[in-house]
Structure 1
Amino acid sequence: MTEDFYCDEVLNGKTEVQKVMETDNVLAYYHTRPFYPVHIVAIPKRHISSLLTLQDSDNELFLELMGVIKQVAARVTEEYGACRVNTNLGNYQDSKHLHYHICYGEPLR
């Protein structure tokens, strides 16, 4: 896997994704290798390596990202009755690009 799958593959169009929601600065799409029956990823379109590297100058983008996550999570919860929203840090973060998972169901693996 590349260091930043989202910049290198998704945002460059090398890997096609099924979009769930998109704004000028944020993309939410179905995970390309889902771990859950419903597995959506939300990313900023500008590179930010992690939640821990956010700067004050990123506040507006982060609020927009959270707004998209809130809308997608509301849709999943409305349809399925529940969802999880999480992000990974450090060694748990495979791709070094801030991203959140919006998921429903038990792990597939």
Structure 2
Amino acid sequence: MTEDFYCDEVLNGKTKVNKVLETENVLAYYHTKPFWPVHIVAIPKKHISSLITLEEGDNELLLELLDVIKEVAAMVTKENGSCRVLTNLGDYQDSKHLHWHIVWGDPLR
């Protein structure tokens, strides 16, 4: 996997995705290799390496990102009765680009 799949593949259009919601600065789409039955990823279009590297100047973008996550989570919850929202840090974070997973169901095996 590349260091930043989201910038290198998704945002550059090399990997086509099934969009769920898009704003000027945020993209939410169905995961290309889902781990859960419903697995949506929300990313900022600006490169930010992780949650802990956010800077004060990113506050407006973070609010926009959270608005998208909230809307997608509400949609998944309405359709399935529940959902989980999570992000990974450090060694758990395969792609070094801030991203959130909005998921439902037991992990696929």
User: What range describes the TM-score normalised by the shorter chain of this pair?
Assistant: over 0.9
Alignment of structure 1 residues 57-96 onto 2, 5 Å: 57-96=57-96
State the Cα deviation string for residues 50-70 of structure 1 (Å, max 9, x = none).
Answer: 000000000000000000000
Q: Distance in 2 between matches of 1:107 and 1:38?
A: 9
Between the aligned residues of both structures, percent identity stands at 77
RMSD: 0.3
Equivalent position of 1:104 in the other structure: 104
Structure 2: segments with no counterpart, 5+ residues: none
Equivalent position of 1:27 in the other structure: 27
**Correspondence 1:11 to 2:6:** no
Q: Distance in 2 between matches of 1:79 and 1:31?
A: 18
Number of equivalences:
109
TM-score, normalising length: structure 1 = 1.00
Q: Distance in 2 between matches of 1:36 and 1:71?
A: 19
Structure 1: segments with no counterpart, 5+ residues: none
Q: 1:18, CA displacement in angstroms? A: 0.1
Equivalent position of 1:48 in the other structure: 48
Q: Distance in 2 between matches of 1:64 and 1:27?
A: 10
Q: Distance in 2 between matches of 1:94 and 1:63?
A: 24
Q: Distance in 2 between matches of 1:93 and 1:18?
A: 22
- The one-letter code sitting in structure 1 at the alignment partner of 2:102 is I
- Dislocated runs of 4+, deviation >4 Å: none
